[in-house]
Chain A
């Protein structure tokens, strides 16, 4: 587990040719780790038939609406595999 609850992370800016479950609307955005949810196979690998797939920690990451959309007071929490994330400086 690389990221502790409360730590600031950035969703990577990725646009792979293959399947991924990194939603486009959070790419490049700053968020905060809510909790680690356990480990799961990486769907990017599973969808490409890579055996064995990478198995990574999945995190609940909370993003403020104002950062995602420039407006709004709500939050959106998205479940993201570890390799979708990088430390925010």
Chain B
């Protein structure tokens, strides 16, 4: 468990689960702590945003990102970060919008997006995203034209999805760092335009 959550009831449940995992010899306390430390210190939507910004300014990188997400992540120094899963980037285009969900649990590329928002793990989002995504997006404030196709990606196996948002208008000439600052976690999930 991370800091500051000791009083939450789920913390006691997580601690009991950790004790069972350790007692079964599946991992040591130190290994579990190392995983969490790595998560809290390096997993961030800043990573995914850097990849998006590069894809906006470098068409060759965009093509490579869509063809092989893991190789494209490695180009920006995130190779180790995505070594545990197959990264699949899906691109928003005029007339086509993507959003990601994990209906079975809460799978998502944590190392590139950071810890997931609580709503991403909620039963409401997980059940409604595949059933009525347009209504869900509208509740997030994203009203898409009726003609825009919506593609929902349910991360039910070993692939982890990242949405490549469309580049906002009026951003010509901005350097990658400024472009990356425009990209939000919701944009990488697909519940916001950027």
Interface residues of A (CB under 8 A from B): 21, 23, 25, 37-38, 40, 58, 60, 65, 68-69, 72-81
Residues of A within 8 Å of B159, CB to CB, are 37, 58, 60, 79
Q: A21-B104, A25-B130 are in contact. Are A77 and B158 (CB under 8 A)?
A: no
Residues of B within 8 Å of A76, CB to CB, are 130, 152-154
Most buried by A among B132, B134, B156: B156
B103 interface residue per 8 A CB criterion: yes
Residues of B within 8 Å of A69, CB to CB, are 131
| Measured CA separation A81–B153 after assembly (Å) | 16
B71 interface residue per 8 A CB criterion: no
In the complex, besides A25-B130, A74-B150, A79-B155, 7 extra interface pairs with C-beta distance below 8 angstroms are: A37-B86, A37-B88, A37-B157, A38-B86, A68-B130, A75-B149, A76-B152
Q: Interface on chain B toward A: helix, strand, loop, or mixed SS?
A: mixed
| Measured CA separation A69–B135 after assembly (Å) | 15
Residues of B within 8 Å of A68, CB to CB, are 130
Q: Interface on chain A toward B: helix, strand, loop, or mixed SS?
A: strand
Name 20 A/B residue pairs within 8 A (Cβ), A-sorted: A21-B104, A23-B154, A37-B86, A37-B159, A38-B86, A58-B157, A69-B131, A72-B132, A73-B149, A74-B133, A74-B151, A75-B151, A76-B152, A76-B153, A76-B154, A78-B154, A79-B155, A79-B157, A79-B158, A79-B159
Interface size class of B (residues with CB under 8 A): 20 to 34
Residues of A within 8 Å of B134, CB to CB, are 74
| Measured CA separation A79–B149 after assembly (Å) | 20
Interface residues of B (CB under 8 A from A): 86, 88, 103-104, 130-134, 149-159
Q: A23-B103, A37-B86, A69-B131 are in contact. Are A77 and B152 (CB under 8 A)?
A: yes
**Chain B, Cβ-Cβ closest to A43:** B157
Closest Cβ of chain B to A38, distance in Å, is 6
Closest Cβ of chain A to B163, distance in Å, is 13
